[in-house]
């Protein structure tokens, strides 16, 4: 393509400039599918959501009208919203560290020389491949008062029957446990993969230098796992805002909002109360928080992480 055009001679364009333009066009062509997808599926919905959040809720009698940031003000005054935000913070604060720690411990164990290693790895991974609905029903069975396995076991030791999902004190914790159960196995697979990229002679070198297993773990393994930890952390963060399916099956956000998380509340606003502008405002709020978190992670944590 460049050939015939280059023949047009130096009078019009020199070949270097032509080549540069050709490369630029080439680059844009390669980028365009991704750009189109991102625009259609990410950028446009975000902008549309923001636009929606600036309008009032339309009813049959009062048609929707532009009200600026009014929806956001209402949101800040909504006690349920704050309850849900607090629930979500608690939920993230418990499940993220717990599932990462458990994933790491399981990975270290599954990576060492133990009998039936591949069986154990598969067993860890099962919760992740189990469909959400199936997992939800399974735990529903665990948690059911009097029939549930937890209470059956409790009864053996004479403990009273507890309605784990049915009382405000325990509902959110019960949800947290299901999440940890599901996430830990998933994250373990990443840790396991990362552990297997660490050359075994590093351990031997550390051993000869007199490092204990704990020192080796702390000074060599954990720093080398940092990129994986960061990746998992970001994923867990996103998942903690994304959780909704367990709530549908296990608690429906109740009792009295005690296990309601933000996405469930957004869904409720949009499809149960048909208050789409309120749901849109909340969505924008979540987007901003997630954006800030991502910026923090990639600007601050990234710099302290060693990539090979």
Partner 1 sequence: MSFLELRGITRDWDGQGGVRDISLSLQRGDFLSILGPSGCGKSTLLRLIAGLEQPQHGTVVIDGRDVTALPPAQRNLSMVFQSYALFPHLNVAENVMFGLKVRRVAARERDRRLSDALKMTGLDGLERRKPAELSGGQRQRVALARAAVAEKPLCLMDEPLSNLDAKLRHSVRRDIRALARNLGLTVVYVTHDQGEAMSLSDTVALMNKGQVEQVGPPSTLYNQPATIFAAQFIGEPPMALVEGPLLGLREGLTVGLRPELIQLSPPEQAHLTARVLDCEFLGSETLVSLDHPAGQGLAVVLPGHASQVPGDSVGVILPEQDRRIFDTHSGRIEKASQQNPAALNRQNTAPRDGQTAPEATEPSFDLNRTTS
Please give the residue ranges that form the binding site for partner 1 (CB under 8 A): 199, 201-202, 204-211, 215, 219-220, 223-224, 226, 306, 308
Residue whose CB is less far from partner 1, 18 or 220: 220
For the chain, what is the total number of helices (H) and then of strands (E)? 15, 0
Residue whose CB is less far from partner 1, 177 or 206: 206
Least distance from C-beta 212 to partner 1, angstroms? Answer: 8
Residue whose CB is less far from partner 1, 140 or 217: 217
Residue whose CB is less far from partner 1, 218 or 242: 218
* CA-wise closest residue to 296 among 245, 237, 226, 254: 237
Q: Are 96 and 293 in contact (CB under 8 A)?
A: no
Least distance from C-beta 36 to partner 1, angstroms? Answer: 37
Residue whose CB is less far from partner 1, 12 or 208: 208
DSSP symbol at 83 = H
CA atoms lying within 13 Å on the CB side of residue 145 = 10
Least distance from C-beta 226 to partner 1, angstroms? Answer: 8
Least distance from C-beta 203 to partner 1, angstroms? Answer: 9
Least distance from C-beta 215 to partner 1, angstroms? Answer: 6
Long-range pairs for 87-91: beta carbons < 8 A, 24 or more residues apart: 87/172, 87/257, 87/258, 87/259, 87/260, 87/261, 88/240, 88/241, 88/261, 88/262, 90/172, 91/172, 91/175, 91/176, 91/179, 91/240, 91/243, 91/261
Q: Are 247 and 175 in contact (CB under 8 A)?
A: yes
Residue whose CB is less far from partner 1, 169 or 207: 207
Least distance from C-beta 104 to partner 1, angstroms? Answer: 17
Measured N-to-C along each axis, helices 70-77 and 276-296 cross at an angle, to the nearest 10 degrees, of 80
């Amino acid at each position: 393509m460049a050939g015939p055009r280059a023949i047009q001679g130096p009078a019009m364009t020199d070949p270097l400039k032509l080549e540069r333009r050709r490369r630029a066009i080439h680059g844009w062509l390669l980028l365009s599918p991704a750009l189109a997808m991102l625009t259609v599926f990410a950028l446009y919905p975000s902008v549309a959501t923001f636009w929606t959040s600036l309008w009032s809720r339309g009813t049959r009698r009062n048609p929707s009208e532009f009200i600026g940031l009014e929806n956001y003000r209402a949101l800040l005054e909504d006690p349920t919203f704050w309850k849900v935000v607090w629930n979500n913070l608690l939920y993230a604060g418990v499940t993220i560290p717990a599932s990462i720690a458990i994933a790491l411990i399981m990975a270290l164990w599954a990576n060492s020389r133990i009998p039936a290693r591949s069986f154990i790895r598969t067993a860890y991974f099962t919760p992740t491949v189990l469909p959400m609905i199936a997992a939800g029903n399974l735990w529903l069975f665990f948690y059911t008062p009097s029939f549930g396995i937890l209470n059956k076991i409790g009864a053996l030791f004479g403990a009273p029957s507890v309605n784990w999902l049915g009382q405000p004190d325990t509902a959110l914790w019960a949800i947290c446990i299901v999440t940890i159960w599901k996430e830990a196995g998933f994250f373990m697979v990443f840790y396991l993969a990362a552990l297997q990229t660490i050359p075994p002679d590093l351990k031997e070198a550390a051993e000869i230098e007199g490092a204990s297993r704990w020192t080796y773990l702390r000074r060599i393994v954990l720093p080398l796992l940092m990129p994986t930890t960061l990746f998992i952390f970001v994923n867990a963060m996103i998942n903690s805002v994304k959780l909704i399916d367990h709530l549908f099956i296990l608690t429906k956000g109740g009792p009295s909002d005690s296990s309601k998380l933000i996405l469930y509340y957004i869904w409720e606003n949009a499809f149960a109360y048909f208050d789409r502008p309120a749901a849109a405002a909340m969505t924008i709020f979540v987007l901003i928080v997630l954006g800030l978190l991502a910026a923090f992670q990639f600007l601050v944590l990234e710099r302290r992480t060693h990539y090979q």
